[in-house]
Amino acid sequence: MLFSVTNTTLRRLAKPTLMQQSRRAMSTTHSFDLTGSFETHNFDTAPSNTAEMTKEELVSMFELMYTMRRMEITCDNEYKARAIRGFCHLYDGQEAVATGIQYALSKDDSWITSYRCHCVALARGGSVSRVIGELFGVADGYSHAKGGSMHMYNKEHNFFGGAGIVGAQVPVGAGLAFANKYKARPGEPMNVALAAYGDGAANQGQIWEAANMCNLWGLPMIFCIENNHYGMGTSIDRHSSISDYYKMGNAIPGLRIDGMNVLAVKEGMKFAKEYCGSGNGPMYVEMMTYRYHGHSMSDPGTTYRNREEIEFTRTTRDPLEFVKTCLQDAGFMTSEDIKETEKRIRKKVQKEVLKAKESPRPSVEKGLVSDIYAASLTPYDGAYPPYIRMPDMAKSVYFN
């Protein structure tokens, strides 16, 4: 069961001797055991049970995850101080999912998610000041104060939002997968599209329709269910007759991943990217994760679950504590190094928040009427498109 606690992944290490510290300090790579992190459906193979990590990559993962955590805690505080208004859905507890996906996909892969999008926006080329600035409603915000908490995009990094309607991002993700297959040159791997949604959206009809079309057309689509066990405020046992979401695609293969283990997420998503990008069609991926806050800031999150459950998860399965253990186990960082890194990131987040607060409000002229009309009605402004796709791919015309 992926939601269980194991001594292997969550043990606390005894303080190493000076000789052990010296040996570990020389190490630049380390192999981590992922046994028990995956379950498969309709597969003859599975992701690797070993993750080979460099010091640079694992430290970078930790820094990104800790920045996410501090950013979301800051959002919580600023909302309570009434500096942030309206909708606000926080991601703390689920940091390993977004981080692991980011390190498995390439910049050219398409990614669309739900309205719980702050941390995905940060991972996909954003900054704390731009994310929080969007929540503050300032001109330098992620969407220049036009989107708010639920609508952040980054075209350059193929991040398509931030969708405010439950499940509506999944058919759009299918369209992104169609575009990626359409653009792929014959014989080359395709870029994949990933649509992330929660367990509360998993039974929607539009998702079933999108899955059917993706399977019929062999699209490189990853249906990513972030199962945090409470669709809004209802447990999965009460709102779904199927709780094994990775099997919901029926004929479509599925993969369940320990979503609190960033290394498992990375290896699992590498497996999914290779499978879908190789022309095998779509895949269902279920991330077993947990959110610490309620569904939104208006939800205390304790009426349908008790505080003991939340505290137990924080104590035994916290994704950040897991990474800290991995860093020390591999000899990549000491506990003192980790504390210094956390201190540095806290200061950086505070600085980014002040930067966002100093940003001006959008002007009426540029803020309200821009991005409505096209700057030019001429497609490509006179330049050729990269190619013209024909029904017979062999007859497609490439211009570069």
Phi and psi dihedrals of 31, rounded to 5?
A: -100, 130
Specify the DSSP class assigned to residue 157. Answer: G
* Rounded to 5°, angle at Cα 164 from 208 and 3: 65
Q: Note the pLDDT tens digit of each residue in 342-387.
A: 999 999 999 999 999 999 998 866 666 677 666 666 665 555 566 6
Q: What is the SS3 assignment for 146?
A: coil
Residue that is written with structure tokens 């405020």 in the block: 233
3-state class percentages of the chain: helix first, strand second, coil last, to nearest 5: 45, 15, 40
- From the list 56, 2, 5, the residue with the least C-alpha distance to 256 is 2
In angstroms, rounded to a whole number, what is the distance separating the alpha carbons of residues 177 and 277? 10
Q: What is the pLDDT of residue 80?
A: 95
Res. 334: pLDDT tops 80: yes
- Please check whether residue 131 is in contact with residue 121, taking contact to mean a CB–CB distance below 8 angstroms: yes
H or E element at residue 33: strand 29-33
Q: Closest by alpha carbon to 99, among 66, 128, 70?
A: 66
What CA–CA distance (Å, rounded) separates 357 from 351? 10
Q: Does the pLDDT of residue 81 top 50, yes or no?
A: yes
Residue with tokens 């077993």: 288
Q: What is the pLDDT of residues 278-327, one digit of tens each?
A: 999 999 999 999 999 989 998 888 888 889 999 999 999 999 999 999 99
The pLDDT of residue 189 is: 94
Helix (H), strand (E) counts: the chain:
14, 13
* pLDDT cut 70: percent of the chain above it: 86
pTM: 0.86
Q: pLDDT tens across 174-231, in order? A: 999 999 999 998 889 999 999 999 999 998 999 999 999 999 999 999 999 999 988 8
The answer, yes or no, to whether residue 22 has pLDDT greater than 50, is: no
CB atoms within 10 A of CB 200: 22
Residue 249's pLDDT is 77
Tokens standing for residue 181: 């297959």
Enumerate domains of the chain plus CATH numbers.
31-375 (3.40.50.970)
Residue 340 identity (one-letter amino acid): E
Q: Which residue has the tokens 């199962």?
A: 227
Measured between alpha carbons, how far is residue 346 from residues 74, 93, 323, 342, 356 in Å?
10, 17, 18, 6, 15
Bridge partner residues of 356 (DSSP): none
